[in-house]
Structure 1
Amino acid sequence: MTVFIASLFLPYTVNFRVDNPRDRPPEATPPLPNSAPDTVPPLPTAAASLFEKTNSKTQPGLTPGATTDYERIFASNLAKAEKERSGYPFPPSSLENRFLTESEAHSPAWGVTTSLNQPPKAPTLISPSPSILKHQDPIVAPNEKPVPAKTSDSAPVPPLGAKKPQNVNRKVSFSRAEWTIETAEQGNGGLRNAVRSAKESGYLGDMMWVGTLGMPTDALVEWTRNDIAERLEDEYNSLTVFVNDGDFDGHYTHFCKTILWPVFHYQIPDNPKSKAYEDHSWIYYVKLNEAFAERIAKNWKRGDAIWVQDYHLLLVPAMLRKMLPDAQIGFFLHIAFPSSEVFKCLAPRKELLEGILGANLIGFQTDEYCRHFLQTCSRILCVEATNEGIQMEDRFINVGTFPIGIDPTSWDKRRKAADVERWVDTISERYHDKRLIVSRDKIDSVRGIRQKLLSYELFLNTYPEWADRVVLIQVATSTTEQPELEATISDIAMRINSTHSTLAHQPLVFLKQDLAFPQYLALITVADALMITSLREGMNLTSHEFVYCQDGSNGDKKYGSLILSEFTGSASVFGNHALLVNPWDYRQCSEAIHTALTRDEKKRKEVWEELHRAVLQNSTANWVKSFNETLKKVWNEQSSREIMAVPRLSVPRLIEKYRQSKRRLMIVDYEGTLASWGSPRSIILTTPQRAITTLTELTDDPNNVVYVMSSRMPEEMERLFRQVNNLGLIAENGCFMREPNSDEWTHLADKDHIQNWKTSVSHILSYFKDRTEGSWIEERHCSLVFHYGSAEDRSVAARLAAECADHINDACKNQGVHAIPVEGALIVETSNTNKSSAAELAWRLCLEDPEKKDAGKPDFLLIIGDNREDEPVFRWANKLQKTKAVDYAMTVTLGSRSTEAKATLTQGVTGVLSCLQQLAAPSDKASAPVR
Structure 2
Amino acid sequence: MTVFIASLFLPYTVNFHVDNSRNHRTPVNPPSANPTVDGITPIPQAAASLFGQAKPGKTPGLTPGATTDHERIFASNVAQAEQDKSGYPFPASVEDNRLLTESEGHSPAWGATTSLNQPKPQATLSPDPSILKHLDPHPAKESVPQRAPPAQPAATYTGLRKASVANRKVSFSKAEWSIETAEQGNGGLRNAVRSATDAGVLEEMMWVGTLGMPTDALAKWTRRDISEKLEDEYESLTVFVNDGDFDGHYTHFCKTILWPVFHYQIPDNPKSKAYEDHSWIYYVKLNQAFAERIAKHWKRGDSIWVQDYHLLLVPAMLRKLVPDAQIGFFLHIAFPSSEVFKCLAPRKELLEGILGANLIGFQTDEYCRHFLQTCSRILCVEATPEGVQLEDRFVNVGTFPIGIDPTSWDKRRQLTDVERWVDTISERYQGKRLIVSRDKIDSVRGIRQKLLSYELFLNSNPEWADKVVLIQVATSTTEQPELEATLSDIAMRINSTHSTLAHQPLVFLKQDLAFPQYLALITVADALMITSLREGMNLTSHEFVYCQDGSYGDKAYGSLILSEFTGSASVFGNHALLVNPWDYRQCAEAIHTALTRDEKERKEVWEAMLRAVLQNSTANWVKSFSETLTGVWNEQSSREIMAVPRLSVSRLTERYRESKQRLMILDYEGTLASWGSPRSIILTTPQRAITTLTELTEDLANVVYVMSSRMPEEMERLFRQVPNLGLIAENGCFVREPRGDTWTHLADKVHVKAWKSSVSHILAYFNARIEGSWIEERHCSLVFHHGSAEDRHIATRLAAECAGNINDSCANQGVHAISAEGALIVETTHTNKASAAELVWKWFSANVEKGENVVKPDFLLIVGDNREDEPVFRWANKLQKAKAVDYAMTVTLGSRSTEAKATLTQGVTGVLSCLQQLASQDRTTLPLR
TM range (shorter): over 0.9
**Which of 569, 594, 598 is 1:600 aligned to?**
598
**Which of 260, 263, 268 is 1:262 aligned to?**
260
Mapped pair 1:482 → 2:480: yes
> In the alignment, what sits opposite 1:40?
40
> In the alignment, what sits opposite 2:917?
918
> In the alignment, what sits opposite 2:900?
901
Deviation at 1:685, TM superposition (A): 3.9
- Residue 50 of structure 2 contacts residue 88 of structure 2 at CA under 8 Å; is this kept in 1? no
**Number of residue pairs the alignment of both structures matches:** 902
1:777-823 deviation digits (Å, cap 9, x = unpaired): 12211111111111111111000000100111112111111100011
Mapped pair 1:871 → 2:862: no
> In the alignment, what sits opposite 1:376?
374
Letter in 1 for 2:55: N
> In the alignment, what sits opposite 1:142?
none
- Residue 50 of structure 2 contacts residue 78 of structure 2 at CA under 8 Å; is this kept in 1? no
Match of 1:575, SS state, is helix
- For 2:321 and 2:258, locate their aligned partners in 1 and report how far apart those are by CA, in whole Å: 26
Match of 2:356, SS state, is coil
- Residue 421 of structure 2 contacts residue 517 of structure 2 at CA under 8 Å; is this kept in 1? yes
Query: In structure 2, do the counterparts of structure 1 residues 39 and 289 end up closer, same or farther at CA, with 3 Å as the change threshold?
Result: closer
**Which of 425, 428, 438 is 2:426 aligned to?**
428
Query: In structure 2, do the counterparts of structure 1 residues 911 and 127 end up closer, same or farther at CA, with 3 Å as the change threshold?
Result: closer
- For 1:437 and 1:776, locate their aligned partners in 2 and report how far apart those are by CA, in whole Å: 61
> In the alignment, what sits opposite 2:570?
572
TM-score, normalised with respect to structure 1: 0.94
Query: In structure 2, do the counterparts of structure 1 residues 75 and 857 end up closer, same or farther at CA, with 3 Å as the change threshold?
Result: same
- For 1:39 and 1:800, locate their aligned partners in 2 and report how far apart those are by CA, in whole Å: 55
- For 1:157 and 1:591, locate their aligned partners in 2 and report how far apart those are by CA, in whole Å: 54
- For 1:159 and 1:329, locate their aligned partners in 2 and report how far apart those are by CA, in whole Å: 40
> In the alignment, what sits opposite 1:820?
818
> In the alignment, what sits opposite 1:165?
160
- Residue 765 of structure 1 contacts residue 786 of structure 1 at CA under 8 Å; is this kept in 2? yes
1:354-408 deviation digits (Å, cap 9, x = unpaired): 1111111000000111111111111111111111111111111110000000000
> In the alignment, what sits opposite 2:18?
18
Match of 2:645, SS state, is coil
Deviation at 1:752, TM superposition (A): 2.2
- For 2:899 and 2:88, locate their aligned partners in 1 and report how far apart those are by CA, in whole Å: 50
% same residue:
83
- Residue 469 of structure 2 contacts residue 506 of structure 2 at CA under 8 Å; is this kept in 1? yes
- Residue 262 of structure 1 contacts residue 268 of structure 1 at CA under 8 Å; is this kept in 2? yes
- For 1:859 and 1:96, locate their aligned partners in 2 and report how far apart those are by CA, in whole Å: 65
Deviation at 1:19, TM superposition (A): 3.3
Mapped pair 1:205 → 2:203: yes
Match of 2:368, SS state, is helix
Match of 2:237, SS state, is strand
- Residue 476 of structure 2 contacts residue 512 of structure 2 at CA under 8 Å; is this kept in 1? no
- Residue 86 of structure 2 contacts residue 96 of structure 2 at CA under 8 Å; is this kept in 1? no
> In the alignment, what sits opposite 1:443?
441
- For 2:83 and 2:534, locate their aligned partners in 1 and report how far apart those are by CA, in whole Å: 36
- Residue 327 of structure 2 contacts residue 359 of structure 2 at CA under 8 Å; is this kept in 1? yes
RMSD: 2.3
- For 1:380 and 1:52, locate their aligned partners in 2 and report how far apart those are by CA, in whole Å: 43
Deviation at 1:277, TM superposition (A): 5.6
Deviation at 1:846, TM superposition (A): 1.3
1:75-102 deviation digits (Å, cap 9, x = unpaired): 1123533653558999987579724111
Gaps of 5+ in 2: 26-35, 149-156, 925-929
- Residue 332 of structure 2 contacts residue 363 of structure 2 at CA under 8 Å; is this kept in 1? yes
1:322-471 matches, cutoff 5 A: 322-471=320-469
> In the alignment, what sits opposite 1:243?
241
1:669-748 matches, cutoff 5 A: 669-681=667-679, 684-748=682-746
> In the alignment, what sits opposite 2:927?
none
- Residue 94 of structure 2 contacts residue 181 of structure 2 at CA under 8 Å; is this kept in 1? no
1:28-68 deviation digits (Å, cap 9, x = unpaired): xxxxxxxx982635445799667373634322111111111
Letter in 2 for 1:735: C
Query: In structure 2, do the counterparts of structure 1 residues 323 and 602 end up closer, same or farther at CA, with 3 Å as the change threshold?
Result: same
- Residue 535 of structure 2 contacts residue 565 of structure 2 at CA under 8 Å; is this kept in 1? yes
Deviation at 1:919, TM superposition (A): 1.1
Letter in 1 for 2:101: T
- For 1:449 and 1:784, locate their aligned partners in 2 and report how far apart those are by CA, in whole Å: 49
Match of 1:180, SS state, is strand
> In the alignment, what sits opposite 1:128?
127
Query: In structure 2, do the counterparts of structure 1 residues 24 and 433 end up closer, same or farther at CA, with 3 Å as the change threshold?
Result: closer
> In the alignment, what sits opposite 2:8?
8
Query: In structure 2, do the counterparts of structure 1 residues 408 and 157 end up closer, same or farther at CA, with 3 Å as the change threshold?
Result: closer
- For 2:348 and 2:428, locate their aligned partners in 1 and report how far apart those are by CA, in whole Å: 55
**Which of 596, 609, 612 is 2:610 aligned to?**
612
> In the alignment, what sits opposite 2:116?
116
> In the alignment, what sits opposite 1:521?
519
> In the alignment, what sits opposite 2:623?
625
Query: In structure 2, do the counterparts of structure 1 residues 158 and 11 end up closer, same or farther at CA, with 3 Å as the change threshold?
Result: closer
Deviates more, 1:710-719 or 1:188-197: 710-719
- For 2:887 and 2:110, locate their aligned partners in 1 and report how far apart those are by CA, in whole Å: 62
- For 2:762 and 2:132, locate their aligned partners in 1 and report how far apart those are by CA, in whole Å: 40
> In the alignment, what sits opposite 2:891?
892
- For 2:126 and 2:645, locate their aligned partners in 1 and report how far apart those are by CA, in whole Å: 58
Letter in 2 for 1:38: D
- For 1:39 and 1:362, locate their aligned partners in 2 and report how far apart those are by CA, in whole Å: 41
Letter in 2 for 1:903: A
- For 1:275 and 1:109, locate their aligned partners in 2 and report how far apart those are by CA, in whole Å: 23
Query: In structure 2, do the counterparts of structure 1 residues 117 and 50 end up closer, same or farther at CA, with 3 Å as the change threshold?
Result: farther
Deviation at 1:121, TM superposition (A): 2.1
- Residue 727 of structure 2 contacts residue 737 of structure 2 at CA under 8 Å; is this kept in 1? yes
Deviation at 1:112, TM superposition (A): 0.5
> In the alignment, what sits opposite 1:103?
103
- For 1:396 and 1:49, locate their aligned partners in 2 and report how far apart those are by CA, in whole Å: 54
Deviates more, 1:267-276 or 1:234-243: 267-276
Query: In structure 2, do the counterparts of structure 1 residues 127 and 848 end up closer, same or farther at CA, with 3 Å as the change threshold?
Result: closer
Query: In structure 2, do the counterparts of structure 1 residues 922 and 732 end up closer, same or farther at CA, with 3 Å as the change threshold?
Result: same
**Which of 634, 637, 640 is 1:639 aligned to?**
637
- For 1:655 and 1:803, locate their aligned partners in 2 and report how far apart those are by CA, in whole Å: 47
**Which of 518, 528, 531 is 1:530 aligned to?**
528
- For 1:650 and 1:52, locate their aligned partners in 2 and report how far apart those are by CA, in whole Å: 69
> In the alignment, what sits opposite 1:33?
none
- For 2:109 and 2:477, locate their aligned partners in 1 and report how far apart those are by CA, in whole Å: 5
Query: In structure 2, do the counterparts of structure 1 residues 790 and 833 end up closer, same or farther at CA, with 3 Å as the change threshold?
Result: same
> In the alignment, what sits opposite 1:140?
none
1:811-849 deviation digits (Å, cap 9, x = unpaired): 211111110001111001111111111111111111111
> In the alignment, what sits opposite 1:928?
none
Query: In structure 2, do the counterparts of structure 1 residues 854 and 568 end up closer, same or farther at CA, with 3 Å as the change threshold?
Result: same
Letter in 2 for 1:629: E
1:51-200 matches, cutoff 5 A: 51=51, 53=53, 55-81=55-81, 83-84=83-84, 86=86, 98-124=98-124, 126-136=125-135, 155-156=142-143, 163-167=158-162, 168-169=164-165, 170-200=168-198
- For 1:432 and 1:469, locate their aligned partners in 2 and report how far apart those are by CA, in whole Å: 10
- Residue 192 of structure 2 contacts residue 618 of structure 2 at CA under 8 Å; is this kept in 1? yes
1:211-266 deviation digits (Å, cap 9, x = unpaired): 00001111111111111111000000000011111111111111111111011101
Query: In structure 2, do the counterparts of structure 1 residues 94 and 370 end up closer, same or farther at CA, with 3 Å as the change threshold?
Result: closer
TM-score, normalised with respect to structure 2: 0.94
Deviation at 1:852, TM superposition (A): 8.5
- For 1:590 and 1:870, locate their aligned partners in 2 and report how far apart those are by CA, in whole Å: 56
